[in-house]
Amino acid sequence: MNDRAIRFTALSIASLSSFITPFMLSSINIALPVIGKEFKTDAILLSWIATSYLLAAAICLVPFGKLADIYGRKKIFLIGMGLFTLTSFLSAISVSAPMLIVFRIFQGAGSSMCFATGMAILVSVYPPQERGKVLGIAVAAVYSGLSCGPFFGGLIVNHFSWRSIFLINIPFGVVIILLVLFKLKGEWKGAEGEKFDLTGSIIYGTAIFAFMYGISILPKPLSIILILTGLAGAVAFVKWETIVANPVFEISLFIKNRVFAYSCLAALINYSATFAVAFLLSLYLQYIKGLTPQGAGTVLVFTPIMMAVFSPFAGKLSDKVEPRVISSLGMTLTALGLILLILLDNQTQLIYIIAVMVILGLGFALFSSPNMNAIMGSVDKRFYGIASASVGTMRLLGQMLSMGIVTLIFALFIGRAQITPEYYPMLMTSTKIVFIVSTCLCICGIFFSLYRGRLRPGDVNPSQKRD
């Protein structure tokens, strides 16, 4: 198989896998009210159906990114897709919310293996001057999954069952596995022969779990202990990684490479500010506005459609224009959209919400693919796996923080009660507060995006440039 065929196959596999995991994520948001009614779960446990997936993925991304660099990115990708496909079936046959949450944990682990390797394989087979373009296509696939998720998820829930959302993953997973086995020739390693840092991985996973679980149970007294434990674990992890011979994560990338560090921080802040939007608007549109799951999905679909349309353009543009300029413009538009969401009330017209969805979608598109290009373009090829895992970790930590903020606000204003009409005023108050916090975060993110330093797209080894 020639290089062109391998590149096309890699792009097809990365795009398909980039489509199916966000499809799962966004369609589940639409289905949560229905799942809550079937299992008679409270608002906090319901949020854990989404959060458990994100927590598992965040814990696993960095270790699996390193394992991929050592043992082969294709190998880890294949195992991850197999696990994701299997747990999709097991999630579909769950008989309780706790059982569903357990399978979602393993589904998140499988997803992390795919995300840690998919982008790394792409930048391994494509030349630097085409990096922004292909990353833009892959990011567009992510947003296509997000766009299809709310609409088709709502359609599926209305006409079939929320369980069918999980079953849809299976044929996608089988096709991707077959493509990897029979069409994707070759293997890519950046750190072959290195010893895997198991101790560092355990410290990392423990710290992430303690911190994020602590946030999720605020304001309970135990939460403070867990958050402090997580922060102490993070300090221990950094110290360990600076002395171990083969670290699971190259701390120097954050210390010496400002482009990489600030781009990752911008991604963290962006996702922290925006991930909860779909979750909150799904509840708002169904509970407050009385829309069906399909109707809510139709409204929410405008954001990812804009993302899918403009992401390839933004990625290609970042091969010629400084990524930080495009990303900062995107972050600014996102902040504007969040400000407009603060004004939501019971009487807000659907056309207003759709207009805000369009603004947010354009903002996301202009931010994501140029920012990804900056991250992958700022490191040497032997760090592609860990760089891909890093941006994935920032994304998932941001999503966890976003849901953590929601969980905290819900705990303070709604408690563990089911969302019934008497609690609708508290739901609206909680939603407004979350959007205010998100807006403040997004404004902070503009700073990191603007002041990350310059990266000239197309440089063969931009990692050698340090600010």
What's residue 420's pLDDT? 65
Structure tokens at 341: 């969401």
**117 phi, psi to nearest 5 deg:** -115, -30
Contact 43, 292 (CB under 8 A): no
DSSP 382-399: GGHHHHHHHHHHHHHHHH
Which sequence spans correspond to the domains of the chain? 3-196+246-464, 197-245
Candidates 61, 115, 446, 140; CA nearest to 265 is 446
Q: Are 216 and 46 in contact (CB under 8 A)?
A: no
pTM of this prediction? 0.74
Radius of gyration in angstroms for the set of CA atoms belonging to the chain, rounded to a whole number:
21
Of 57-71, 137-151, 267-281, 350-364, which range is least confident? 137-151
- Residue 444's alpha-carbon distances to 30, 249, 359, 455, in angstroms, are 30, 26, 19, 21
Q: Write out 179-214 in H/E/C secondary structure.
A: HHHHCCCCCCCCCCCCCCCHHHHHHHHHHHHHHHHH
User: Which residue in this structure is represented by tokens 């070759």?
Assistant: 186
Q: How confident is the model at residue 417 (pLDDT cuts 50, 70, 90)?
A: low
Pair of tokens at residue 153: 């998820």
**Residue in 234, 314, 259 with CA at minimum distance from that of residue 448:** 259
pLDDT tens digits, 318-345: 878 888 889 999 999 999 999 999 999 8
Q: Quick check: 227 and 214 in contact, CB under 8 A?
A: yes
Locate tokens 């508290």: which residue?
Answer: 426
Instruction: Let me know: does 375 contact 260? Beta carbons within 8 Å.
Output: yes
Average model confidence (pLDDT) for the chain? 83
Asked whether 65 and 120 are in contact (CB, 8 A), the reply is yes
Q: What dotted CATH number matches 3-196+246-464?
A: 1.20.1250.20
pLDDT tens digits, 137-185: 887 787 777 667 777 887 888 888 889 999 988 999 999 999 988 888 8
